[in-house]
Chain A
Amino acid sequence: MNALLTLTIANIRSFTRDRTALFWTFAFPVIFVLLFGAIFSGGGSTRYAVGWVDQDGTAASAELRQAFAQITLLRLHDGSLAASLDAMRQGNLQAVVVVPHGYGAAIARSAQVIAGRTSGAAAPGGSPAPGASATPGGGAVHAGLVAPSLAPAAVELQVYTDPSQQSSSATIRQIVSQVVSSLDLALTGRPPALGVSDRTLQSQRLTNAAFLVPGILGMALMQLGVFAAVPLVAQREKLILKRLNATPLPRWTLVGSNVVLRLLIGLVQTVLLLGIGSVVFGVTVLGAPWLMALVVILGALTFTSIGYVVASFARTEESANGIVQVVQFPMMFLSGVFFPIEIMPAVLRPVAAVLPLTYLGDALRQVMVGGSAYAPLPLDLGILAAWLVVCLGIAARFFRWE
């Protein structure tokens, strides 16, 4: 125990006295968050200009418009479909929402169904139960979001977005689906509970920064773990590991102290990024702190084990550095950390589906900002754990101390 403590302290000292390593570990993610946050116009203060095309013209559709108008992030501009799409092509609108003909009738139908099911506890105002179909400019992708309570044929809201404006498009689609599902919630007959509408409000403010902060935290934890290979290989190359092997120090202590160091660094990075997220971008953690801690720790462990795998096969510090880059660089861009996986080219999506960072980013996003899920949280954690176990097995088999 004493050895574990002194070794961990020695590792912390070595780490903090190495200014270069310190800078890259902490300044890099911070710069990233600030830079990306700024580039993607995050800030939370921007408002999106959204074209509003009402082809239905009923009381129900007017009511829907009102619901959207309440969202401060959106500025609605009424117009015909053709005119609105024109405006969007010219860059004056960032998205166009179309309420199709027959919307009011469908709402009325499903209100009856619900009324029958819930013994007359009708939703106030007979709110609609629409689905939203997000149709990016190309129009091919149909990311339909159908509310679960909708048994009968629902009408779909169409959302046109510009694929070249990835982050604002993602945000707008996010907002639309939030509004739709909250209306849907109202339709199921439960009175709009205060807690629910609070959460909805938070989620409605899911800005670019809210998308980016969890992603960049995931990226930082990934790098932290994978880069563990470099000092490890350096210590082996400098024969420090060999020298330690000549002492009675148990190997688990050596590994343990390295892992503790990584976890501590991960903790500091998390606090740092969450601090910036909240102060600069107003992104706060919605989920339970213990859940947040669980995700961060599991993520740091998983990627550290990948670092150990790299260290098992790299012979020199330089080659370790090279392999680390080969591992971390594509992962950074293929895991939906900076933009949603749904907008990635179809060929790359299966790659994203196996990368652990995809699931860490997704888990963090769900826990931190209640973002829409790529996979259910337990699946995210399960896949991270599976990576951890496999990598530990490989490292245990192939790692060399000398």
Chain B
Amino acid sequence: MARGADCSGGRSGLNAELQEPVIEVDGLRKRYGDVVAVDGIGFAVRRGEIFGLLGPNGAGKTTTVEILEGLRKPDAGTVRVLGIDAARAPERIKERIGVQLQTVSLYPFLTVTEVLDLFRSFYRHSMPTAWLLEAVELGERRDAQTRHLSGGQRQRLSVALALVNDPELVFLDEPTTGMDPQARRSLWSLVQRLREQGTTVLLTTHYMEEAEQLCDRVAVMDHGHVLELGTVDELVSRRFRERAVHFETLPELDLRELGDLAGVKRAVVEDGQTVLYTADVGATIGALLARTEALGLEPRNLGIRRATLEDVFLDLTGHALRE
């Protein structure tokens, strides 16, 4: 499990490589007949981050990811993965990346363990089967043939296959589609564990919550273009300046006593919570704490809410991500 000091032969100039992005895309184009799937996009993914590609159906996410995996050839532009030209020398990256395709494809008549062991034999270095089973919580189904697995279980096995070689860089194309909430959460914690070990993850998703929970940075795609790129916070605050500071007190404060606090534009009570809409969260919270202290009260469940990624999405693409 120890990454860092492991395999990945020939990592010369470690420092230089740590600076260098793990993925660099520039001017990437791909068309199928007269459908332009990817229309000149560029972005970079840093080592150790979880990078999300968001976008509605047909946005070009899968096309982009599969070009990065060396599975499809771009029409134009450059793609460097782990410092290697993925279009020219895909063979050189395969040992070092983990791939989960959007469409799960497994040998139907092999058991979970057999499929894992099969894929392990393709790599010079591989994780123990028991670890992989545990990572995606498939231990109980280890001897089931894959054709007898449920959709979510197949999806989990597919994720496990992406981790077989303890890769430096993992591509997950809609990894949690079809998973129940519990399985989804456990996958999120798995991805977070991967990041703690220094693994870089590029994932696509349709779930806003997933992107908000997991991704260090996201790129929003539509019609083959990257519309917006940055941390979730950046994306939201770029479009929605006001935030909501919410809290509860006993007894309830009179709203009139709050309207004049620094930065506050509006004050309302929603479901027993007092909500202050503000352009300056820091000033508002400072003033609020001073005011409540003066009144001998203690605000409980104090929190800051902002517009969500979902709002950004609607704003950018004009339609909701999930129907």
Contact = CB atoms under 8 A, between A and B. Distances in A.
A242 interface: yes
Contacts of B71: 242, 245-246, 402
Given A242-B71, A246-B99, A2 B109 contact: no
A315 to B, nearest CB: 16
Contacts of A243: 99, 101, 105, 161
Nearest to B93: A248
B101 A246 contact: yes
Interface in B101-142: 101, 103, 105-110, 114, 117-119, 121-123
A240 B104 CA distance: 9
B94 A240 contact: no
Residue among A243, A245, A249 with max Cβ neighbours from chain B (10 Å): A243
Contacts of B109: 13-14, 17-18
Contacts of B122: 3, 244, 247-249
Task: Name B's interface SS.
Answer: loop
A311 to B, nearest CB: 17
A190 interface: no
Contact of B69 (A5, A7, A10, A246): A246
B107 A10 contact: yes
B105 A10 contact: no
A17 B145 contact: yes
Nearest to B161: A243
Contacts of A249: 122
A358 B89 CA distance: 45
B310 interface: no
A238 interface: yes
Contacts of A118: none
A242 B108 CA distance: 15
Nearest to A2: B121
B121 A239 contact: no
A243 B114 CA distance: 16
Contacts of B233: none
B118 A6 contact: yes
Residue among B109, B121, B145 with max Cβ neighbours from chain A (10 Å): B121
Contacts of A248: 91, 94-95, 122-123
B148 to A, nearest CB: 12
B62 to A, nearest CB: 12
B107 A14 contact: yes
Given A18-B109, A402-B71, 6 more contacts: A6-B121, A238-B105, A239-B101, A242-B101, A247-B119, A247-B123
Interface of B: 69-71, 91, 94-95, 99, 101, 103, 105-110, 114, 117-119, 121-123, 145, 161
19 contacts: A6-B117, A7-B118, A13-B109, A17-B109, A17-B145, A18-B109, A239-B101, A242-B71, A242-B105, A243-B99, A243-B101, A243-B161, A244-B122, A246-B70, A246-B94, A246-B99, A247-B119, A248-B91, A248-B95
**10 closest Cβ pairs, A-B complex:** A239-B105, A6-B121, A17-B109, A246-B99, A247-B122, A248-B94, A14-B109, A249-B122, A248-B95, A243-B105
Interface of A: 2-3, 5-7, 10, 13-14, 17-18, 238-240, 242-249, 402
